[in-house]
Amino acid sequence: MTTTTTAPPSTAPGQSPQLRTRRLPVVASLGIAVAAVVLSAAVVYGAGIGGTALVVALAVVFYLVGLFLASNAVEGRRQARNRTWSALIHSAFVLALLPLASVTWTLVSKGIERLDGNFFGTSMNNIGARDPNGGAYHAIIGTLEQVGVATLITVPLGIACAIYIVEYGRGRFAFTIRFFVDVMTGIPSIVAGLFVLAFWILIVSPYFNDGRPGYSGFAASLALSVLMLPTIVRSTEEMLRLVPAPLREGAYALGIPKWKTILRIVLPTALPGIVTGVMLAVARAAGETAPVLLVAGGGAAINFNPFENNQSSLALYVYQQAGDASRYAPARAWAAALTLVALVLILTIAAKLLARRNRFSR
């Protein structure tokens, strides 16, 4: 195997020359990678024990072993360990990125077929099994309204709870709040839906609906709020704790009240992290199916009023179309899934840009 050496430069009198170092050429690393892929494919496909995923995983193992042996022979054991660990870290990043790339490619390739004006401008009302038309306009409206109402309910409540825990809470009461927030983090979505069904739909809503249970998008928003609240509280709490104490102490030294210090200094400093936590909660809420199915009921028609009658959502629309017997349903399901991911991505980017603009304006 060829090696490269760095020749000592010309040195002035009285200066010690630089030491020679042997380096593994880049071509050798590429050759090891190609050989690892070929060997892995030969083993996996030759033995018939797996597919592409196993080929990639086994190729990484062969590459790391071959890289260590080659580097150990050329550069020495210490440099070989360093190079192998660096390659392992980069390989782990690539392996973690592969599922995301696979999901993205699958969504785009299968969902782009029905991304047209009919899909975004019509609902599933009066659409039969043999009708190739039909869209998700009603589901998009439902998702935006349900998640929007849930965000309006949860964000102020979650931020206020986090402020109390960090800035004011002391003793058992604050510990109890933090404990129950941690417990709520692991609540399944179906439990949140059942809670709203038992409390709001069966007990409260009959008082406003002539004695009949009232399924609505607002009930779905209440269920989504139960799921969003612990995420917002915990993320906001951690961001507030990261605000340096000297910022608070400097404000107190200038005679600024504590409430104004929190509003004008602590919250703006932690705003980017708070926005990230809020968008994580929004992404989870937008993808929930069970609460919407239980308390909103779904529906094929467009309903702009979240406080009356059944309402659908994109996640529920995907679930219904995926189980539909029509041959046109799978394309609608993939298009709705792609729309949901794109919607969450757009909202996240917009929220990040807004938080960044507010930070720069100060």
Domain residue spans in the chain? 23-106, 119-360
CATH code of domain 119-360: 1.10.3720.10
Q: Which residue has better confidence, 10 or 317?
A: 317
Task: Judge whether residue 4 has pLDDT over 90.
Answer: no
| CA–CA gap between residue 172 and residue 178 (Å, rounded) | 10
Dihedral, CA atoms, 317, 183, 306, 328, nearest 10 degrees? 0
| CA–CA gap between residue 127 and residue 120 (Å, rounded) | 15
Task: Judge whether residue 263 has pLDDT over 70.
Answer: yes
Average pLDDT value for residue range 313-328: 90
pLDDT in tens, 199-258: 999 999 898 888 888 899 999 999 999 999 999 999 999 999 999 989 898 999 988 999
Q: Which residue has better confidence, 297 or 159?
A: 159
| CA–CA gap between residue 195 and residue 204 (Å, rounded) | 12
In this structure, what are the phi and psi dihedrals at residue 22, rounded to the nearest 5 degrees?
-100, 130
| CA–CA gap between residue 180 and residue 233 (Å, rounded) | 11
pLDDT computed for residue 100 by the predictor: 87
Buried b (16+ CB within 10 A) or exposed e, 85-123: eebeeebeeeeeeeeeeeeeeebeebbeebbeeebeebb
pLDDT computed for residue 360 by the predictor: 52
pLDDT in tens, 47-105: 888 788 888 888 989 999 999 998 888 888 888 899 899 989 988 888 888 888 888 99
pLDDT computed for residue 297 by the predictor: 86
| CA–CA gap between residue 158 and residue 234 (Å, rounded) | 9
Is 123 in contact with 134 (CB distance < 8 Å)? Answer: yes
Token pair belonging to 221 = 């928003």
End-to-end C-alpha distance for the chain, whole angstroms: 59
pLDDT in tens, 96-150: 888 888 889 999 999 998 888 889 999 998 888 888 888 899 999 999 999 999 9
pLDDT computed for residue 143 by the predictor: 94
The DSSP-derived string for 237-254 is: HHHHHTS-HHHHHHHHHT
pLDDT-wise least confident of 19-33, 126-140, 274-288, 292-306: 19-33
pLDDT in tens, 20-49: 667 888 888 889 999 999 999 998 888 888
Q: What is the DSSP letter of 297?
A: B
Is 205 in contact with 214 (CB distance < 8 Å)? Answer: yes
Angle in degrees, 0-180, between the axes of helices 217-241 and 189-196, rounded to the nearest 10: 130
pLDDT computed for residue 226 by the predictor: 93
Token pair belonging to 51 = 């597919």
Is 236 in contact with 159 (CB distance < 8 Å)? Answer: yes
Q: State the residue for tokens 């590429």.
A: 30
Average pLDDT value for residue range 353-361: 66
Number of neighbouring beta carbons within 10 Å of residue 285:
29
Looking from the CA of 113 toward its CB, the CA atoms found within 13 Å total: 14
